[in-house]
Amino acid sequence: MTSSLLHPGIILIAFGLFIPLIKNRLIVLLFPIASFIILFSLDNGTIIKLDYGNYELILLSIDKLSRLFSYIFLLILFATAIFSINQDNKSEISSAFVYVGSSISVVLSGDLITLFIFWEIMAITSTIVIWSGSKQSYYPGIRYLAVHLLGGSILLIGIIGYANTTGTLAFGLMSPDNIFSYFVLAGFLINAGAPPFSSWIPDAYPSASWSGTVFLSAFTTKTAVYVLIVGYAGYQFLIYVGIFMIFYGIIFAILENDMRRILSYSIVNQVGFMIVAVGIGTEIAINGASSHAFTHIIYKALLLMSAGSVFYITGRTKCTDLGGLYKTMPLTMICGIIGALSISAFPLTSGFISKSLTVQATVYEELKILWLLLTMASAGVFLHAGIKFPWFVFFQKDAKIKAQDPPKNMRFAMILLSALCILIGVFPGVLYSILPYDVKYVPYTLDHVSSQLQLLMFSGLAFFILLKYLKRTLTITLDFDWFWRKFGVLVVSLFDTYLLKKVHTLIHSIDNLGTQTIRSLHKHSGPSGMLGRSWSTGNMALWTAILLGLFLLFYLFA
């Protein structure tokens, strides 16, 4: 009985709360291992159930897909815990563990209420991770929290409505005829970084610390991808959402100057690929979405570790301030390049064997336009992340920055993830065997390798030919968040100066009227008022006698 109560996510949350008390940070590394052992020892199926009135809460339910997502979450938590051993801010590490524990609990939950509870814990703890960054993290953190609480409210409306109309809380493929399933979908999409709320990713993530950004990159958007796979596979609408995100990510990353913001835009781009795959919804597409989530979590963490190391050592994040670090930070450069090659889906890296599944899904479904768009986007990924990030940080001009590779633990974490990127790329069978559906696809054919190399190398040529147009400037790019950061503020200030004055006088006169009414009521019915005061017993008796007398007289003469 007790053994079946061990929950891999909740135990991680419990561990996380104890982290501030722990002195030796190596002990922290044992937590994801413990959680992994618990998960590994559990069989697939529903394991922890609670009865709650007419509904059933399923706290722990495991299948191939949720197992895949939980494993990668634990793996990246382990690697990032190594990377952040020298992060002195304990509130960051502690809240990061609670955040990851609740992400795993979302993935392992079998009903919408349990999912919602952990969904909200994720929002709060990830905000604390952001706030642990610096003083400048305060406002981005508030904006981040506002977006996620809005998403959470929409999700809750959807869940309550859905449970009321269908009579079930079970989380599976959502009925497309039920209006409330679209509220749930909207809630999920906000966490995935879909328009018009994509800007929370490049706004909030880069304002966390050098290690905080690595923690943040993996979980919120990927739990969203997971719940979209479970609830909304085959919803064609998602293809359009995904395509928008893919090209939004590329274009905004091309215009961006801050390296960690470039990589954040690139998260939107990559999640876009996954959402397109969810929208296609066939077996190979779902395999594509889940394997892409798996490999993306690794190489994006690797890229952000590389960028985080540069930030940790030099204190700089802007491309215009960086350059020439290949001489002083060679290991950081090599690991960054391995991450960049993986995200670009170079043969022999993890990206090649995962993204190909999604692209192949469009071929099987004969979606020509979509295939052309995804292929264009693959070229664009190399352009905005694959070359742009390493080139501007480690090469271009020599910025003459004094630097060296980061401490041992950070180097080790980067080497670990680099090795994984290559191992998964060279031996795709391992990842393919844990995907939700059987994989018959063979990524390494002469045809496919040559096509991909042509595509990428000629994108590289385009990059260097267009280099002078890609030169970075000290600018930011407006996004949808302009509407609430600028336009909203303007509306409120107009309201303040013009409308509020009139409203104020109106409220004042209503207030006066109210006061006068209350006063007159008080005068007549208050404790000393004619109608309200208490009477003496003698008076009462006299008046009763008079009334009875009148009644008698009336009775006699009637």
Partner 1 sequence: MLNSTIKKLWISFLFILAILFFSDLLIHRHDYFGIDGFFAFPSIYGFLSCIFLVFVSKAIGIFLKRPEDYYDE
Residues of this chain that bind partner 1 (CB under 8 A): 247, 250-252, 254-255, 257, 363, 366, 368, 371-372, 375-376, 379-380, 383, 446-447, 450-463, 466, 469-470, 473-479, 485-486
Give strand pairing partners of 46.
61
**What are the Cα distances from residue 512, in Å, to 28, 91, 504, 520, 523?**
63, 51, 12, 12, 16
CB of 284 to partner 1, least distance (A): 14
> Which residue's CB is nearer to partner 1, number 59 or number 370?
370
Asked if 300 contacts 264 with a C-beta cutoff of 8 angstroms, the reply is no
> Which residue's CB is nearer to partner 1, number 161 or number 460?
460
Place of tokens 């002469």: 446
CB of 282 to partner 1, least distance (A): 15
CB of 318 to partner 1, least distance (A): 9
For residue 23, the 8-state DSSP code is S
What is the spatial distance between Cα 221 and Cα 302, in angstroms, rounded to a whole number?
17
> Cβ contacts of residue 75 below 8 Å, gap of 6+?
32, 298
> Which residue's CB is nearer to partner 1, number 219 or number 352?
352
CB of 424 to partner 1, least distance (A): 23
CB of 452 to partner 1, least distance (A): 7
Asked if 435 contacts 298 with a C-beta cutoff of 8 angstroms, the reply is no
> Which residue's CB is nearer to partner 1, number 46 or number 454?
454
CB of 394 to partner 1, least distance (A): 12
**What are the Cα distances from residue 10, in Å, to 14, 34, 41, 271?**
6, 12, 16, 26
Residue 196, preceding bond cis, omega within 30 degrees? Answer: yes
> Which residue's CB is nearer to partner 1, number 23 or number 440?
440
> Which residue's CB is nearer to partner 1, number 454 or number 520?
454
Per-residue burial over 441-452, b if 16 or more Cβ lie within 10 Å, else e, is bebeeeebeeeb
CB of 298 to partner 1, least distance (A): 25
What is the spatial distance between Cα 118 and Cα 105, in angstroms, rounded to a whole number?
6
Q: Is 191 helix (H, G, I), strand (E, B) or coil?
A: helix
- How many CA atoms lie within 13 Å of 500's alpha carbon, on the beta-carbon side? 7
What is the spatial distance between Cα 271 and Cα 245, in angstroms, rounded to a whole number?
8
CB of 197 to partner 1, least distance (A): 17
CB of 485 to partner 1, least distance (A): 6
> Which residue's CB is nearer to partner 1, number 473 or number 505?
473
Q: Is 365 helix (H, G, I), strand (E, B) or coil?
A: coil
Provide the 10 A C-beta neighbour count for residue 402. 7
> Which residue's CB is nearer to partner 1, number 95 or number 257?
257
> Which residue's CB is nearer to partner 1, number 82 or number 359?
359
What is the spatial distance between Cα 349 and Cα 292, in angstroms, rounded to a whole number?
12
What is the spatial distance between Cα 317 and Cα 502, in angstroms, rounded to a whole number?
48
